[in-house]
Amino acid sequence: MNNQRIWAPWRAEYILDESKNDSCVFCKVTNSTNNDDNKRLLVLKRGSFSFVIMNKYPYNPGHLMVVPYKHATYFDDLSSEIISEMIQLKIRSINALRNAMNPEGFNIGINIGQAAGAGVKDHLHIHIVPRWNGDTNFMPVLSSSRVISEALNVTYDKLFNEFRSIQ
């Protein structure tokens, strides 16, 4: 077998973070200030009831999430005002991704509960994953690995500028 290495140095921060199981990662962002919304937290836009954040461990470059500030497992736990803003931020996210990254399609999804694949199972959120023709390859099949072709901070800068220019 060939000893090839795939480098993903940003994952060490997650692996070594002893506080990752202490509380909800989205509630930590909810309780932070706008001053923390830089590349460390990867928050792109804050609304009145929800926010847009980049996924630190993306499925594809530009993988975003729309998250309500309220810790809720189901949509029934959210007001129509919160849900409406989440949908508006989803649309804004798609527009920002289209302008910054020119994807050829999107996967948009919500995983409710651990059995459905939710990584953060008790804090509802919407995934927005840009897709390109040919963006899948043999890596997930052979080694359960994804190849992300752009550094998070580069993608953050592109999208941050787009979120500021889209009204």
Residue 141's pLDDT is: 42
pLDDT digits (tens, 9 = 90+) for 15-63: 555 555 557 989 988 888 766 666 678 999 999 999 999 998 887 889 9
Please give the residue that has the higher pLDDT: either 83 or 150: 83
- Which of 118, 104, 138 is CA-nearest to residue 73? 118
For 72-96, write each residue's pLDDT tens digit: 999 999 999 999 999 999 999 999 9
The answer, yes or no, to whether residue 149 has pLDDT greater than 80, is: no
**Residue 6 within a domain:** no
Place of tokens 């043999």: 138
* Residue entry with tokens 């990752």: 20
**Token reading at 65:** 């999430």
The domain that contains 77 carries what CATH number?
Answer: 3.30.428.10
Q: For residue 110, what are the domain limits?
A: 25-165
Q: What is the pLDDT of residue 143?
A: 42
Supply the pLDDT for residue 12: 60
Residue 20 per-residue DSSP state: G
Average pLDDT value for residue range 65-70? 96
The verdict on residue 76 lying in a domain is yes
Q: Is the pLDDT of residue 4 over 70?
A: no
Burial 111-140, CB ≥16 within 10 A → b, else e: beeeeeebebeebbbbbbbbeeeebeeeee
pLDDT exceeds cutoff 60 at 130: yes
Confidence (pLDDT) at 41: 86
Flag whether 119 is in a domain. Answer: yes
Task: Tell which wins on pLDDT, 128 or 151.
Answer: 128
| Lowest-confidence region among 22-26, 123-127, 131-135, 140-144 | 140-144
**Average of pLDDT values for 93-120?**
91
In-domain check, residue 7: no
Selecting among 63, 71, 123, 125, the annotated active-site residue is 125
Q: Based on the residue annotation, tell me whether 123 is a catalytic residue of this protein.
A: no
pLDDT score, position 10: 56
For the chain, the domain total comes to 1
Does the residue 138 lie in any domain? Answer: yes
pLDDT for the residue 36? 64
In a domain, 15, yes or no: no
